[in-house]
A and B are shown apart, each in its own frame.
Chain A
Amino acid sequence: MLVKFQSLLALVLLCFLLGVMTDIFFTYANLINVMRQISVNICISVGMTLVILTGGIDLSVGSLLALSGAITAGLLKFGLELPFIDTFIGFTLFGAIMAGIITGTSLGAFNGLMITRFRVPPFVATLAMLTIGRGLTMLYTKGFPISGLGPQFSYLGTGWFLGIPIPVWISLIVVAIAVFITNKTRLGRYIYAIGGNESAAALSGINIKKIKTMVYAIAGALAAVGGIIVTSRLDSAQPNAGNSYELDAIAAVVIGGTSLSGGKGTIGGTVLGAIIIGVLNNGLVLLNVSPFWQQVIKGVVILLAIIIDKYNSKSNG
């Protein structure tokens, strides 16, 4: 609880500083911007939190985001042609989105399979998927963006509902489901148990392989959701979309107080972490800080967050 409180304090402090230094930070339009910009990172980070809670890591989310976005865009625009049986399959909006999410989910599950069945360390398995996913994206798009996807699809990324942008709604729903899973379901307790002590969890009869595979599949699915949001916002699937998004997601998880060794952390903390990164990104641009310094400052903030977290957990015993 205390860890979460500290991230909250950091966020309040950051907002206060930005409020003093610029008079636009606390405008409705700017805060909405920040929320919309972090919605993709929130989706990815939630999946990343679940993975890290089991003591793993997922480096492939950025690539899976790009691939799922590209497949959704490609199917929506060109459909699927199967020349060897001489058929053409057109896709509805819903069908294309489902295909994108299924892509992300299955490649995520493939990650899980490599990790649980072949005992490939998560870092290595998902690193491999990072390049495989990016390569598949290049193959599918031939290196070119797929643009002009129609107003219906753009609504997902640019539309509004009850005064709040659709991407923010999507991220809220993702967070709500994830909070429910981690707090109220057996799956959630198993995730914490595996991260806390894997052999104890195995001895108490938890099917570790199944749970872990599920967790990586969820991370893949959420990366796909992020990919669909990005694609819809730009009205274009960029082959290099999501480059290094995994790092932002890991940073959000870590700033949110989740332990990289697993078993400890909350979805709420991660959301706070993502908001801190988003506010920082926004604030540095509002203040027109030089792009050279921005990267340094972001790194320092991540370090500070970890130091505070370590100090905190030590003093707690």
Chain B
Amino acid sequence: MKYRLILFFSACLLTFSSGCRKNKQTSGTPKIAVIISTLNNPWFVVLAESAVREAELLGYEAKIFDSQNNTALEADHFENVIVSGYSAILFNPSDSDGSISNIIKAKAADIPVFCMDREVNAKGVATSQILSDSYSGCVAIGKNFVQSLNKKGKYVEIIGMVGDNNTWNRSMGFHSVVDNYPELVMVAQQSGEFDRNKSMEIMESILQAQPHIDAVFCGNDPMAMGAYQALVAAGMADRVKVFGFDGAYEVIQSIHEGKIKATGMQFPELMAKTAAGFADEYMNGRRDFPEKMPVSVELVTSENVKFYIDKP
């Protein structure tokens, strides 16, 4: 009984205090919501935090909502954002199809939505989509890959989550180049689920089945680190070339030390800044935004790594 009373009172306190906060917010500065697919990956944390910082620099109040890669939770966030008086949404969709209806809801409530990094497969819904050009980035990696293998050899591809748009954009960009060289043979293609540990375990097994490979291409940088560790443990790190994608700090460091061959540098800060800038311009009356605004991905190799090494 005692516990129940305590619980009851704390519940009362909680409702009361959140009520107070709400009243305060509506009378303050205009607010921007940052709805992000997941905070489970450092890359998205950078994206979310940069978006908040940029919005605050422009004089807005900004708040992060984490959808945990779940479109249903994302829908709840949208509903909350719409009713609590936000002026714009900087949005990193959880799903390229499943997130469309959420954007439509915001549009109906006259709240502009600016997509960052991940795209949605619908035209004229989001006010603008600021996208990392994964496909072209991986075309560049593919070219570097072909070059450093001298157009010949066996390789392994470790792809990301099999249900994710970016997984296939990256894979297709890479294969659009590499598949033109018949002497480059893919001996295994497995999913590392964008996860370092999973990628390492997959690689350990693949190395048993395919001990004579020349290169590995991984769909993101954590997986590249995992694959590299498996190669080190097998004593093969010297002769197998590892390629990643993201531009994670650790991989940049590893490229500098000659451990990893190349990666594609994405610019989450730049995407966030563009999106926040667009939102600000929208509120000042601009309406002619480009449907898609690609942010290029830069190839990082041992030759140009010195330009990237200093910024963590």
Chain A positions within 8 Å of B, measured between CB atoms, are 22, 24, 27, 29-30, 33, 36-37, 118, 134, 138, 142-145, 147, 158, 230, 233-236, 238-241, 243, 281-282, 285-288, 290-292, 294
Contacts and interface: CB of A to CB of B under 8 A. Distances in A.
Interface stretch (B54-62, B90-98, B199-207, B293-301): B199-207
A189 to B, nearest CB: 32
A118 B209 CA distance: 52
A236 B196 contact: yes
Given A37-B201, A37-B204, A158-B233, A238 B190 contact: no
A288 B188 contact: yes
B122 to A, nearest CB: 26
Contacts of B44: 143
A118 B268 CA distance: 45
Given A27-B208, A143-B45, 7 more contacts: A22-B209, A24-B208, A234-B196, A236-B196, A236-B225, A285-B202, A285-B209
A243 B3 CA distance: 33
B45 A142 contact: yes
User: Nearest 10 pairs between A and B by C-beta?
Assistant: A143-B45, A291-B191, A285-B205, A240-B40, A30-B208, A144-B42, A286-B209, A33-B204, A288-B188, A24-B208
Contacts, number: 85
Which range contains the number of B residues in contact with the other chain? 20 to 34
21 contacts: A33-B205, A118-B3, A143-B41, A143-B44, A144-B42, A147-B250, A230-B197, A234-B200, A240-B195, A281-B205, A282-B205, A285-B202, A285-B205, A286-B206, A286-B208, A286-B209, A288-B189, A290-B189, A291-B162, A291-B190, A294-B191
Nearest to B194: A240
Which of A118, A143, A158 lies at the interface centre, i.e. has the most chain B CB atoms within 10 A of its CB?
A143
Contact of B42 (A22, A145, A281, A286): A145
A8 to B, nearest CB: 23
Contacts of A22: 209
Contacts of B264: none
B206 A285 contact: yes
Nearest to B159: A291
Given A24-B208, A158-B233, A285-B206, A240 B41 contact: yes
B229 interface: yes
Contacts of B250: 145, 147, 236
A42 B75 CA distance: 38
A220 B229 CA distance: 28
A284 to B, nearest CB: 9
Interface centre among B202, B204, B225 (most CB of A within 10 A): B204
A241 B206 contact: no
Contacts of B195: 238, 240, 243
Nearest to B189: A288
B142 interface: no
The residue in A37, A238, A282, A286 that gathers the most chain B C-beta atoms within 10 A of its C-beta is A238
Contacts of A118: 3
Contact of B209 (A24, A158, A234): A24
B112 interface: no
A243 B209 contact: no
A285 B208 CA distance: 10
B222 interface: yes
Contacts of A147: 250
B67 to A, nearest CB: 14
A134 B159 CA distance: 25
B254 to A, nearest CB: 11
A217 to B, nearest CB: 21
Contacts of B190: 285, 288, 291
A243 B166 CA distance: 20
